[in-house]
Structure 1
Amino acid sequence: MPIKRSAYVGETLGRLIEEEGASRDQLAFDFSVSKPTITSIKANKRTMAADVASESIRLYDNPEYIMDILHEFSHGFTSPVMRGKKVEQHRLALRHTTAKEMRNVLQMMEEAGLEKNIESLSTVERERIANLMDALLHSRLHSDNLLKQLQVEYRMSLKMRIKDVLVKWKALGWI
């Protein structure tokens, strides 16, 4: 799956301007583009280039913005920010829904039959695997949004946490 070369991210850029209190002049300077380019991107009249998106992620430690940009540029491969009417953004509400999704995944893993020979799976068993994959995606969505909210509420950089755990994962031989 290729990363998009450019994407319409007007709403995302608008939220960044509002949340960070950044002016269009500041964003133009930070992203090394003109002020009219920022205006056009925000109005969805122009796309943001992938290199500008990458630089913006490097410069701004705003978890919602980063999630939005990654989701858009990855063709939806990464988790989106949950902004639906039925979503409570508080860390305790997200903890509850994340735990519920994780318990569901654990139960489904027990029932999925992952130990069986792949070539001999029945249609029903293959459907269980597909359902498990969907449940893992649900769990990832909730986990990613909980991580985002923990950064927001505790003011602990997710970028820095990732940087630290990458070192640990490498030392463990996981990556």
Structure 2
Amino acid sequence: MIKDSAYAGGAIQTLLQEEEIEGVQLAMDLNVSPQLVSHMKNDRRRMQKDIAQQSLQVYDDPTYAMELIYEFSGGFTSPVLNGKAIDKHRLAIEQFAFNEIEEAVAVLKGVNFIKPPGETTKDERERIAQAIDEIIDAEAAISNLKATLAKEYKISLKDRVNKRVPVWKSNGWIQ
């Protein structure tokens, strides 16, 4: 469920820094007051869903989009990995993604999905939950790699996804 509003101060600060703009410019681009931008940036006011949607149309910044969508989805999507244990260089993130993918594959190989869900034991369900955890970790690493590469090489993720949709349809993956 997408929230009607969310605290987006971190995402706004990221956008202002990465786009090298001031809050006044953001306010003009989103047709809101500079005071509202200031309040949202400092988490004194929530960003409304319509303003978030407008900002994603105006700005094609993958890190901002990830942070904003993470907040509005209530944590259902991958967050921006920006902790001390993460080196933001594209090669380091690439290696991190490979490691997480390999861990997920290794765990998946050790899980048996043959039994129907209602017939699994408590131990089997725990292994399946661990597999899901590893998939979530791999997904977060891949999402951050995708955003980093798009940003550094100045490739629009929106454009790339839009170009993939016909391929997914022709493969029968989506309708």
TM-score scaled by length of structure 1: 0.94
Mapped to 2, the partners of 1:100 and 1:18 lie a distance apart of 30
SS in 2 for 1:46: coil
How many residues of Structure 1 are paired with residues of Structure 2 in the alignment?
Answer: 174
TM-superposed CA distance for 1:143, in Å, is 0.4
Mapped to 1, the partners of 2:104 and 2:46 lie a distance apart of 37
Alignment match, 1:19: 18
Q: Percent identity?
A: 37
Mapped to 2, the partners of 1:43 and 1:104 lie a distance apart of 38
Alignment match, 2:155: 156
Mapped to 2, the partners of 1:97 and 1:45 lie a distance apart of 35
1:37 and 2:36 aligned: yes
1:96 and 2:95 aligned: yes
Of stretches 9-18 and 78-87 in structure 1, the one that deviates more from structure 2 is: 9-18
Alignment match, 1:66: 65
Mapped to 1, the partners of 2:81 and 2:59 lie a distance apart of 20
TM-score scaled by length of structure 2: 0.94
TM-superposed CA distance for 1:35, in Å, is 1.5
Mapped to 1, the partners of 2:83 and 2:6 lie a distance apart of 22
Mapped to 2, the partners of 1:10 and 1:98 lie a distance apart of 27
Runs of 4+ in 1 over 6 A off after TM superposition: none
TM-superposed CA distance for 1:24, in Å, is 2.1
TM-superposed CA distance for 1:117, in Å, is 2.6
Mapped to 2, the partners of 1:153 and 1:11 lie a distance apart of 20
Q: Which amino acid in the other structure matches residue 81 of structure 2? A: M
TM-superposed CA distance for 1:167, in Å, is 1.6
SS in 2 for 1:173: coil
